[in-house]
Chain A
């Protein structure tokens, strides 16, 4: 009965490819996020959606495009993958400021 789920858990792909990561939350929260965690464990917010509407877009390259078909889902599509995109990507939802994180997707670009 996972609260925030992401697929896939691991993603290995070559430079230049396009890939998507899917996220779903069953908590009924209105706000969802995408974070990027680098190899030093630094956590950086990328996007935030509130009730399907984009409210935060943190200087992320245009190659990254989030999509929220409904308030329970927030997907991340990445075009023309680069080596520097290798990281762990976390989806999260929030209520009252408390964040609920998914298990993460480890993206490796070769």
Chain B
């Protein structure tokens, strides 16, 4: 079956530090890949996505590249802010979404200190 493994947390950084959260996946075929963010007390919301190999998703200064050869989708940001403190989930979804389900990683909690 499909699986997503992401870097264990929690991760604590100082403001303006560089962020990497690793994510690797196992899937049949070529799934779409996602990063979701969950701010305290809220539901998950889409941060970025990529639908095919070598695609780069980006949003709010975050980036992730779909690497088929290493089955990875690592999340990066060059300079984090206190407002980026949240839980980040890597996820994949099979192409035929009506028959399959999304698979989520365990989440990585990020705390950014001023």
> Measuring CB to CB, which residues of chain A are less than 8 angstroms from any residue of chain B?
4, 30-31, 33, 40-43, 45, 48, 50, 55-56, 90, 92, 94, 96-104
Residues B98 and A31 in contact, CB atoms below 8 Å apart: yes
Interface centre among B91, B95, B104 (most CB of A within 10 A): B104
- Listed by A's residue number, 24 A-B pairs whose Cβ atoms lie within 8 Å are A4-B43, A30-B98, A31-B97, A31-B98, A33-B101, A41-B38, A42-B106, A43-B44, A43-B89, A43-B104, A45-B101, A45-B102, A97-B32, A97-B93, A97-B95, A97-B102, A98-B32, A99-B34, A99-B36, A99-B91, A99-B93, A101-B36, A104-B42, A104-B43
Q: Please, which residue of chain A has its CB at the minimum distance from the CB of B109?
A: A41
State how many angstroms separate the Cβ of A91 from the closest Cβ of chain B: 9
Query: Sorted from nearest, which 8 A-B pairs have the closest CB atoms?
Result: A97-B93, A101-B43, A41-B107, A97-B32, A101-B44, A97-B97, A43-B104, A103-B43
Docked pose: A98 CA to B107 CA in angstroms: 17
Contact check: which of A4, A48, A90, A99 meets B46 at CB < 8 Å?
Answer: A99
Residue of B nearest to A101 (CB): B43
Contact B44 A41 (CB under 8 A): no
| Complex contacts, B77 vs chain A, CB 8 Å | none
A-B pairs with beta carbons under 8 A, tally: 63
By a CB distance below 8 angstroms, the chain A residues around B44 are 43, 90, 92, 99, 101
Which residues on the B side are within 8 Å of A40 (C-beta)?
106
Q: Which of B36, B49, B101, B109 lies in contact with A48, CB distance below 8 A?
A: B101
Residues in B whose Cβ lies below 8 Å from that of A31: 97-98
Contacts of B49 in A (CB 8 A): 98
Taking a contact as CB atoms closer than 8 A, the residue among B34, B87, B106 that contacts A98 in the complex is B34
